[in-house]
Structure 1
């Protein structure tokens, strides 16, 4: 059986070989293909954390928790030593003020000065705002995550169990329009005829051994994917979201299906990609979730434990802003 990470390596190779060269919004340039799909089986605690380079999964997990809190300001992320969103407000600040401040200096001011953070650290109505506080034309805020959880509990056969972030009137006010913009959920049930003693034995991420619970699957669609830097975070983040929601609704995580529209490599990432393609995948790690909160808001970074992660070294590549 092929290692599931081979899907990702095949995608990198396909973009290198067949990608169209384009000048993109950032001016860096990309090699791009249109349309991609990867599938990850998340049973038995397996988590799609890539091994051909180190992925800093705690950084990704902090970002997902930030989304789920409905936050849009980088201050709380920076306080947790998470810098993955700093490039955008830093670039805006430099252009607006002419001050070529370092990232370290900018982040220090964001942490120390609430007024400065309020002015320069907010990203506009990005993911968290749309997921948890979508502003409707009636003036009310809508919590899409809470609605998904309620539908999974009340009507799991529905074909409308989804949420998205593409709020057209808000796009122009966002530091970056949502890349992973739509999530859809699907509930299936264990097949009694195919159940085996072995399949029932591994614990799931909440400490149970019950193989009779419903199975929650999730599809994530991205309009745009930075395949070298972004995708490894996206796979893990999506798998974590699936695991958390499955825990809240008392289901077991099943398959994660990831789809992408414009799937690209930045031209300044080509050498890094070639280095990664020279490496062989190692076994995926497993992840335990130590709590089962009543609400999606009850998860904390301390609840997540990744075991058996033995990746190749990290590969440095610059973010295109």
Structure 2
């Protein structure tokens, strides 16, 4: 295996060191999916985002456009996979597909299910909704008001946490309340999957915007590469909207794990050495953080090593 005693100390070594630690020293556990994991608890990675740098892994190909499309979808507050499927993004398809297969007994393929979601609005409405996941909580956290006689009614518009953070960064940069939270306890049982990357907090130091992402549960092989990109992307977009320079992304993990059936991927990735210096340019500044398009993002300096695949545990 490659050694992390590399004199240049590429920032990706942090990720590889964490992967190695989990694989060699992690506690082997039975998990919700039944697949089994090796797990450690309480982890941290730090990445400098100055001058366009991004935590985009080079020891395997990370489909950053797919991750970006997912993040932009979160910002719409949509909870149905139809929009994602129409863009060829299948990150969330496995959960409603599993539900449909169990309910119908039909052994439909993921591709056929996704195509039907896109083609049939009624089918998508019935089978494509994920419940009030990420984006719903970020931009439309439900609020209930007294309706008299001990009853409550839901307010038409919920709390837009993202818009509030943009406003607070602009008007009160020294606040300790620049937070976007996804863990709505009252609605967890309605979600296809409770939020893993659950809490974002931002901090202004001079003219630099720093961000912290806390993740309660982290699939290091498949999920973390996307989560690092998403957290850094969020910080970069906020910095642009608030006339700040990108600072540091701090990632913190609770249950940080590798699935036992990811052995081939893990061994292959740990045999590789990181290289290169991926950079992200945001080529347009829209009027709002909610108006970015995939065409607004350009990555340079990214020459990843070959793709590594492994099954998703649903």
Report the TM range for the smaller structure's normalisation: over 0.9
Please tell me whether the aligned partners of residues 162 and 183 of structure 1 are also in contact (alpha carbons under 8 angstroms). yes
Which residue number corresponds to residue 198 of structure 2? Answer: 181
Please tell me whether the aligned partners of residues 48 and 284 of structure 1 are also in contact (alpha carbons under 8 angstroms). no
Q: Quick one: distance in 1 between partners of 2:304 and 2:117?
A: 33
- Residue 91 of structure 1: which of 73, 91, 98 is its match? 98
Query: Residue 52 of structure 1 aligns to a residue in which SS?
Result: coil
Query: Residue 91 of structure 1 aligns to a residue in which SS?
Result: helix
Q: Quick one: distance in 1 between partners of 2:137 and 2:185?
A: 11
Which residue number corresponds to residue 3 of structure 2? Answer: none
Confirm or deny that 1:266 pairs with 2:259: yes
Confirm or deny that 1:167 pairs with 2:174: no
Confirm or deny that 1:118 pairs with 2:125: yes
Query: Residue 235 of structure 2 aligns to a residue in which SS?
Result: helix
Confirm or deny that 1:15 pairs with 2:60: no
CA apart distance, 1:124: 0.2
Which residue number corresponds to residue 70 of structure 1? Answer: 77
1:260-296 Cα offsets, whole Å, 9 max, x none, are 0000000000221011000010123111101111211
Gaps of 5+ in 1: 190-213
Q: Quick one: distance in 1 between partners of 2:277 and 2:184?
A: 35
Which residue number corresponds to residue 150 of structure 2? Answer: none
Please tell me whether the aligned partners of residues 19 and 33 of structure 1 are also in contact (alpha carbons under 8 angstroms). yes
Structure-to-structure mapping, 1:253-292, within 5 angstroms: 253-292=246-285
Confirm or deny that 1:5 pairs with 2:12: yes
- Residue 102 of structure 1: which of 106, 109, 123 is its match? 109
CA apart distance, 1:137: 2.5
Q: Quick one: distance in 1 between partners of 2:42 and 2:143?
A: 31
Q: Quick one: distance in 2 between partners of 1:284 and 1:12?
A: 21
The ranges of structure 1 where at least 4 consecutive aligned residues each deviate by more than 3 angstroms after the TM superposition are none
Confirm or deny that 1:58 pairs with 2:75: no
Q: Quick one: distance in 2 between partners of 1:54 and 1:283?
A: 13
1:13-47 Cα offsets, whole Å, 9 max, x none, are 00011111111010000000001100000001111
Q: Quick one: distance in 2 between partners of 1:54 and 1:18?
A: 26
Please tell me whether the aligned partners of residues 32 and 262 of structure 1 are also in contact (alpha carbons under 8 angstroms). yes
CA apart distance, 1:298: 1.4
- Residue 242 of structure 1: which of 232, 235, 241 is its match? 235
CA apart distance, 1:132: 0.4
- Residue 51 of structure 2: which of 44, 65, 73 is its match? 44
Please tell me whether the aligned partners of residues 50 and 284 of structure 1 are also in contact (alpha carbons under 8 angstroms). no
- Residue 30 of structure 1: which of 37, 53, 61 is its match? 37
Q: Quick one: distance in 2 between partners of 1:233 and 1:22?
A: 24
1:159-192 Cα offsets, whole Å, 9 max, x none, are 1110110001100000000000000000011xxx
Which residue number corresponds to residue 149 of structure 1? Answer: 166
1:71-124 Cα offsets, whole Å, 9 max, x none, are 110000000000010000000000111111000110111000000000000000
